[in-house]
Amino acid sequence: MRPSAAVALTFAVVLLTPAAAQAQGLPPTISGVAPPTPISAYNGLLVWSQPATNGQYQLVSRQGSGPVTPLPIATRGVPFDVDLGPTSSGGVYALYSRCATEPQWDQVGMPDYQTGKGCAIYKFDLSSNQEVRYSKVNASNASQYWPTYWKGKVGFARTYASNTNKGYVYTKTISSSTPSAQMPIGALGDTSAYATQLELYGSRLAFGWTYTTEQFMNWQLRLDTIGSKGSTVLDQTKGGQSNVGLGWPAFGYGGITWLRYCIGDPGSCPGAVRIQRSTYSGSGDQIASTGEFTQAYDFDASGSITYLENDVLSLYQCQTDPATTPACTITATQPQFTNLG
């Protein structure tokens, strides 16, 4: 849903230098991030992928302002589609997919996880350092990806081998013998439609939805409730009118936030890159950043801290020109809300 007729609000997202961030008690900025990678944060813990010495990608973590530490799991050929979530006993799981055939990826933006073959969901217990294939949510005739977890519930995207151009969204209560439940999805489009970047919070499931019409890509940000047949469209952009994508939903700040990001050259969508917010119902005032960053790839919120993955040069997919030094950062911020009038 678009902003209401009420007065619009905004908040400034100020990208702090490492010294300034530490002076404010925030975790220091992580520099040299490449290529664009999904990030996830929960209760002071941050995880993301970075290049490994074997030419693949390693999942790493940082607790608060502590050191960057590789997780003791095998690498994979693309960055991990990782999500952190709390267990009912107070622990934390990291969920991600592993594939028999990795998804298509040209290192421009995120991997197209829906194109992977034989992908299954795995969980890593941060307390025991144990990785387990999540057999209860995986179907042998399909690929599962973009998992999300919250206290015994798992949400995930799925593409069946019989039609890889059509995606689905499911949730599963792990302790239940009931099969995974199919959730409402968005428009099917002409040739392809699939979910991206799922985020689960209690019974609420938010996700991006991408579909094609007349060869143009279209984006929606959707919010569903487990057990409900309805689906709320919080935001959408149409192909052919803009180059603005939607995704990376996060719950916090009294509602749901998400990222509007530029597809390709930031010059093609000036002022469009921002973090936006809505109530759970999609009503009320929308809140957006004033644009102190021009090209962002991901963000997540944990408590009062927002983590933003930003391209310093705003053009080169986290690379310099020539490509010698990674130019993306992951910065911890505390958005300040102000009234635009």
Structure tokens at 245: 């994508």
User: What string of DSSP letters covers 11-24?
Assistant: EE-----HHHHHHT
3-state secondary structure of 222: strand
Instruction: Encode 252-262: b = buried (16+ Cβ within 10 Å), e = exposed.
Output: bbebbbbbbbb
Whether 209 is covered by a domain: the verdict is: yes
Provide the pLDDT confidence category of residue 3 given band limits of 50, 70 and 90: very low
Supply the DSSP symbol for 39: -
pLDDT digits (tens, 9 = 90+) for 68-125: 999 999 999 999 999 999 999 999 999 999 999 999 998 878 899 999 999 999 999 9
H/E run at residue 9: strand 9-12
**Of 96-105, 217-226, 299-308, minimum mean pLDDT range:** 299-308
Whether 29 is covered by a domain: the verdict is: no
In the prediction, which pLDDT does 48 show? Answer: 97
Provide the pLDDT confidence category of residue 317 given band limits of 50, 70 and 90: low
Gyration radius of the chain over CA positions: 19
Count of residues making up the chain:
341
In the prediction, which pLDDT does 109 show? Answer: 80
Whether 284 is covered by a domain: the verdict is: no
Average pLDDT, the chain: 84
Domain that holds residue 85: 38-272
Strands across the sheet with 193-201, in order?
193-201, 204-213, 216-225, 231-237
| CA neighbor of 34 nearest in space, from 324, 244, 305 | 324
Mean pLDDT: which of 145-159, 224-238, 252-266, 296-310 is highest? 145-159
Q: Confirm if 12 and 338 have CB atoms less than 8 A apart.
A: yes
Count: domains in the chain? 1
CATH value at residue 266? 2.120.10.30
In the prediction, which pLDDT does 199 show? Answer: 97
Q: Confirm if 331 and 21 have CB atoms less than 8 A apart.
A: yes
135: left (phi over 0), alpha (psi -120 to 50) or beta: alpha
Whether 309 is covered by a domain: the verdict is: no
Whether 196 is covered by a domain: the verdict is: yes
Mean pLDDT: which of 15-19, 30-34, 50-54, 267-271 is highest? 50-54
Beta strand pairing call for 287-289 and 9-12: parallel
User: What string of DSSP letters covers 71-124?
Assistant: -SS--BSS----EEEE-TTS-EEEEEEE-SBPPB--SSSS-BGGG-BS-EEEEE
**Of 56-65, 183-192, 270-279, 290-299, minimum mean pLDDT range:** 290-299
Whether 330 is covered by a domain: the verdict is: no
Beta-strand ranges (E) seen in 107-241 are: 120-125, 130-133, 142-150, 153-160, 167-173, 181-182, 193-201, 204-213, 216-225, 231-237
pLDDT digits (tens, 9 = 90+) for 136-151: 999 999 999 999 999 9
pLDDT value at 340 more than 60: no
Whether 171 is covered by a domain: the verdict is: yes
In the prediction, which pLDDT does 74 show? Answer: 98
Whether 294 is covered by a domain: the verdict is: no
CA atoms within 13 A on the CB side of 60: 16
pLDDT: which is higher, 190 or 275: 190
In the prediction, which pLDDT does 4 show? Answer: 28
Q: Confirm if 8 and 303 have CB atoms less than 8 A apart.
A: no
pLDDT value at 7 more than 50: no
Please report the sign of the dihedral spanned by the C-alpha atoms of residue 260, residue 110, residue 161, residue 191.
positive
CA atoms within 13 A on the CB side of 194: 23
pLDDT: which is higher, 21 or 73: 73
| CA neighbor of 212 nearest in space, from 192, 198, 234 | 192
pTM for this structure? 0.89
